[in-house]
């Protein structure tokens, strides 16, 4: 058997999340169907990151096994030809048989986009937030995250995870023309974590609070104190980093 990594991008508004669900259109379901159709046999994929309904991806990765060597460029062409415009197949490359798209990932990077003036062309692609924010406070709250590893306050209840510890490697706010973006990179993320980080920071900055108040929420280890209310359509899985592989 030969193992491959498949890099995909997608418009999250077209899917009920990324993970396969019964009687729901999902990214993984569409990927499995396209591969199975073209390769003329059942193909099951395993994803690097699960994204919720409405969340977009510039790069998500799935691994799968097949009994024959593939022509990467030809398969990519065929995959893009048989799927809807909401799903794109960007790269395909062979990896060692024990490589794992989820567990081998060194880091994942997410970006959350916010705009402040109503724009119909950004609807469904970013969060419309017509409120004044203290941007200095946002920069302060983003910076304190590197001081912590336990993010229980930013994990939804009843999450099936063995630990709430994460290593955050980058956390910052960026001004992009008429938008404000939050960028965060970590070795792993908890369920709902990025949206909770964004929503809570916005709440702090809008209310005139300070980074110390954000620290108090982190240290409380209580998800009821965080704000999970921001919509998924502003969130993008932007990059997944892997170690170099040798075949």
3-state secondary structure of 6: strand
Whether 52 is catalytic: yes
Tens digits of residue pLDDT in 206-239: 999 999 999 999 999 999 999 999 999 999 999 9
Q: What is the pLDDT of residue 21?
A: 84
Closest by CA position to 45, among listed 53, 59, 35: 35
What's the DSSP call for residue 55? -
Tens of pLDDT along 8-60? 999 999 999 888 888 889 999 999 999 999 999 999 999 999 999 999 999 99
Q: How far apart are CA 64 and CA 91, in angstroms?
A: 13
For residues 21 and 98, is the Cβ–Cβ distance under 8 A? no
Token pair for 17:
């999340």
DSSP-assigned states of every residue in 164-223: -B--EEEEEEEEETTEEEEEEEES---TTHHHHHHHHHHHHHHTT--HHHHHHHHHHT-G
Closest CA to 102 of 161, 39, 41: 161
Determine the topology of domain 2-103 in CATH. Alpha-Beta Plaits (3.30.70)
What are the residue ranges of CATH 3.30.70.580 in the chain?
Answer: 2-103
How far is Cα 113 from Cα 180, in angstroms, rounded to an integer? 6
With beta carbons less than 8 A apart as the criterion, state whether 173 and 138 touch. Answer: yes
Average pLDDT taken over every residue of the chain: 95
pLDDT digits (tens, 9 = 90+) for 148-196: 999 999 998 766 678 999 999 999 999 998 999 999 999 999 999 999 9
Q: CA angle, corner 186, sides to 45 and 220, nearest 5?
A: 115
pLDDT at 160: 65
Rounded to whole angstroms, the Cα distance separating 212 from 223 reads: 17
Q: What is the pLDDT of residue 5?
A: 98
Residue 177 CA to residue 115 CA, distance in Å, equals 10
pTM: 0.94
Residue whose tokens read 């909770």: 196
Question: Which of 11, 52, 104, 140 does the annotation list as catalytic?
Answer: 52
Q: Which residues make up the CATH 3.30.70.660 domain(s) of the chain?
A: 107-239
Strand pairing report for 127-128 and 107-115:
parallel
Confidence label for 76 from pLDDT (cuts 50, 70 and 90)? very high
Q: What is the pLDDT of residue 157?
A: 77
Q: pLDDT band for position 123 (50/70/90)?
A: very high
Measured CA to CA, the distance from residue 241 to residue 107 in angstroms comes to: 5
Q: How far apart are CA 228 and CA 23, in angstroms?
A: 27
Topology, domain 107-239: Alpha-Beta Plaits (3.30.70)
């Amino acid at each position: 058997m030969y193992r491959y990594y498949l890099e995909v991008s997608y418009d999250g508004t077209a899917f009920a999340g990324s993970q396969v669900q019964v009687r729901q259109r999902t990214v993984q379901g569409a990927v499995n169907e396209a591969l199975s159709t073209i390769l003329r046999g059942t193909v099951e994929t395993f994803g690097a990151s699960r994204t919720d309904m409405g969340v977009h991806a510039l790069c998500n990765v799935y691994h799968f096994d097949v009994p024959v060597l593939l022509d990467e460029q030809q398969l990519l062409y065929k995959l893009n030809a048989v799927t809807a415009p909401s799903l794109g197949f960007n790269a395909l490359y062979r990896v060692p048989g024990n490589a794992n798209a989820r567990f081998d990932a060194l880091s994942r990077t997410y970006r959350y986009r916010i705009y402040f003036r109503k724009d119909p062309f950004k609807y469904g692609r970013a969060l419309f937030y017509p409120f004044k924010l203290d941007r200095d406070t946002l920069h302060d709250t983003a910076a304190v995250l590197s001081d912590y590893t336990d993010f229980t306050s930013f994990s939804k209840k009843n999450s099936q995870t063995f630990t709430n510890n994460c290593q955050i490697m980058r956390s910052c706010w960026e001004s992009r023309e008429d938008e404000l973006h939050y960028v965060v990179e970590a070795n792993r993320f908890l369920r709902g974590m990025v949206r909770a980080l964004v929503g809570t920071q916005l709440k702090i900055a809008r209310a005139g609070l300070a980074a110390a108040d954000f620290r108090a929420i982190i240290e409380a280890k209580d998800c009821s104190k965080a704000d999970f209310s921001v919509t998924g359509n502003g969130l993008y899985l932007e990059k997944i980093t892997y170690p170099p592989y040798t075949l």
